[in-house]
Amino acid sequence: MNNKIILLFLTIVLTSCSSTDSEWKSLIADNSLEGWHIFQDDGSKKGWIVEDRTLIFNGVSDMESGEGDASLLSDKVYGNFEIKFDWKIIPGGNSGFMWGVREDEKYNYPYQTGPEIQILDPAIYDDPNIALGGEIEVNNAIEDLITHKHFVGALYDLSAPEKTNVARPSEQWNSYHIKIDYKANRGEVILNDVLINSFPLEGPEWDAMVLNSKFSRPEDAEYLGDARWFDYGKFSKGHICFQDHPGMVSFRNIKIRELDNYIAADKSLPNILFIPVDDLRPDIGAYGDEFILTPNMDRLARQGVTFDRAYCQQAVCNPSRASLLTGLRPDSIQVWDLRTDFRDNVPDVVTLPQFFKQHGYTTIGLGKAFHNNDPDTISWSITPENINGFPFDPDAVYVNEEILAIQQEKIEQLKANGKSRIDQLGHWYVKANATENADVDDDAYYDGAQTTRAIEILQELKSESKPFFLSVGYYRPHLPFNAPKKYWDLYNRSEIPLAENQYIPEGSPAYLVHGEAELRGYSDCHNLPLPGEAAWDEDRQREIKHGYYASVSYTDAQIGRLLDELERLGLAENTLVILWGDHGWKLGEHNGWCKQTNYEIDTRVPLIISGARVSAKGRHTKALTEFVDIYPTLCALANFAVPEHLQGTSLVPLLENPDLEWKTAAYSQFLLGRFGRTKTVEGEQMGYAIRTDRYRYVEWYSWIKEEKIAGDLLCNELFDHQIDPQENKNIATDPAHREIVEALSQQLKKGWRYSKPQIRISTENE
């Protein structure tokens, strides 16, 4: 028989390795109820039967009095576990699943000593909270559920409109996947493959829910209004229970997996060292820059994969970081500026560190992960700590006497004008000069001091049984470029190369080169020219670039200290290290400075994924990749299911084969006119950019701020990277490129979903 080649085109599916069947144990076997009992029962099982491995309750109970109760309890006590089962209920019926159950002789109610997930006919009540078919309840009496809202679900907003139709009608099978993990202090309820709730099992969040519950009946206060109430979610071990309640209910495919044993056996869960670096553009030795000295970032690259064409979703700190850490694009979270807290728009979104926290990791954040003033404390197992002696936002820290005098003079001016810039730690936040060269130790500045603290934390984490997600976010090379003298001494200023293209792109409006207002705000840079004016004095340019390079090398040295400690502690072999800079940065290119444009110089970013589970060590990839890809990548590398709502693509295949064909485009955007230099911009404008293998194409629209939508198309830009890699000439209006403009415009409007990667797999059949 002739060989024939079958070509199969598969869209990458964002799922991780699933658990094996051997990890799961069936709880109903051989059509018997062996291993189950009913509290204070005579052995009759009171209405529970098994047919074809389906557990059925067809009896009657009186939940008002508790007499005749036939809730079915496991003989075995379970701690941390996952359970899966299907359920079906007759019209008007209700049941429930409980965990951590203790058989309480005093009250004769076994299910009064553990939290419950309600199982209800979705049509039974008008209340959408109940119609979900899946509530978390503490006091299980159904009349109280209706009249007094005694259930945790209401406090956790399970009744979000998009989730009210999850449960299927009565007499149809539904599926539950429930995870109760006291190590991670998190429970999860998945109904019909939809995550409908994630909740704490103990601690301040749990106690707050309890305190927010209200009791109306004296008997509630008697047995629920004391300290026992707070213990409901703290039963780290107990029976599991299927409740009866009036009406017929059936359960099938009941399987359980004990997480204590599973986690103990899975020593391969990788630790994660997450290293965001503020304002770091790809000026790194690993990216081919032969002038800058970054031996430790280069060392990471040798141990991992370097992404040569990675792009942020918006070239300014807050939107870029919020997008990366939520796995959602700026328009989805509506974060386009420095002030918006993403939780104002998507309050229930689970961030990247929060996801790992929910999945058993200790998550700790030092320095800058989210934007400066928004540490997002619920993402971390431990509230982010401040380093003693440093302000809340420690970027503008000076030590030289002459610069401290400038800073103090500005403070006195603010006081005289009745103004205050004192942060929550009692420090003044005032910027002085744009650079500082001080003969001090590394720990005199924040990045060195936090590295010392990070090393202490690594030593503490070494002794823990849980994997960790440690984020150490560096401020340098963000302005001001303050670094110890030894890092300035690495460079001869007269040899520092200047930007070759110190002019506005030909054919583009001058105001689109944006961002330099940040640098102009420093005391010694008020004379910085606008991009459309003559270039800045070369000595000043070299001074600023010198400061940038010194700052990068200073941060590189701190990263080296972290890597050394990982190796000394024996943690390196099982630790993933992710290095990324939140956006690019102009150092005179297009006669501009800082970030905040849609050009390649600002949207292209460094990204290195290194260490454990990276096969193609020391390799580079030219694949078009995006920051929203990091979240699903780390989920997949840890063998967790990738949440379906994420808007990026797991990069795991590229960590094995960097030469794979990948996305057809990467997407970025930028909002002009809201911050920075706004006088030269007429109203707010939103620019949407697409980067393909050859082209960068941008469309600029008027922005309707009140409606948060784009208005009229104002202008467009097209750059051909094959002949113009610096993006010096906008050819969008050239008639010769009309068809390219039309094609790219259509691709831009279709959006990122139409640019996902495809893999071609060939096989041979006889």
What does the alpha-carbon distance between residue 530 and residue 44 come to, in Å, rounded to a whole number? 87
Non-local (6+) Cβ contacts of 165 within 8 A are none
Closest by Cα among 354, 357, 397 to 379: 354
Q: Is 620 labeled as catalytic in the residue annotation? A: no
- Give the DSSP H/E element, type plus range, for residue 98: strand 94-101
Chain-centre distance for alpha carbon 479: 26
d(CA 533, CA 503): 9
- Rounded CA-CA distance 436/397 in Å is 10
Return d(Cα 636, Cα 349) in angstroms, integer: 19
Q: Which of 150, 239, 359, 371 is catalytic?
A: 371
**Do 589 and 507 contact (CB within 8 A), yes or no?**
no
Q: Which of 14, 632, 18, 571 is nearest to 267 (CA)?
A: 571
Residue labelled with tokens 């400075």: 593
Residues 6+ away with beta carbon under 8 Å from 12: 649, 650, 653, 756, 757, 758, 759
Q: How far apart are the C-alpha atoms of 589 and 283, rounded to whole Å?
A: 14
- Residue 113 has a CB neighbour count (10 Å cut-off) of 22
The half-sphere exposure of 319 on its side-chain side, counting CA atoms within 13 A, is 24
**Does residue 232 contact residue 139 with C-beta atoms inside 8 Å?**
no
How many Cβ atoms from other residues are within 10 Å of residue 297's Cβ?
28
Residues whose CB falls within 8 Å of the CB of residue 205, separated by 6 or more in sequence, listed in order: 199
Q: Is 371 a catalytic residue?
A: yes
Distance CA 272, CA 80 (A): 23
Asked if residue 435 lies in contact with residue 548, where contact means CB atoms within 8 angstroms, the answer is: no
Fill in the DSSP letter of residue 132: T
Buried/exposed code over 200-227 (b: 16+ C-beta within 10 A; e: otherwise): bbbeebbeebbeebebeeeebeebbeee
Length of the chain: 766
**Count of CB atoms situated within 10 Å of the CB of 199:** 21
Residues annotated catalytic, as ranges: 317, 371
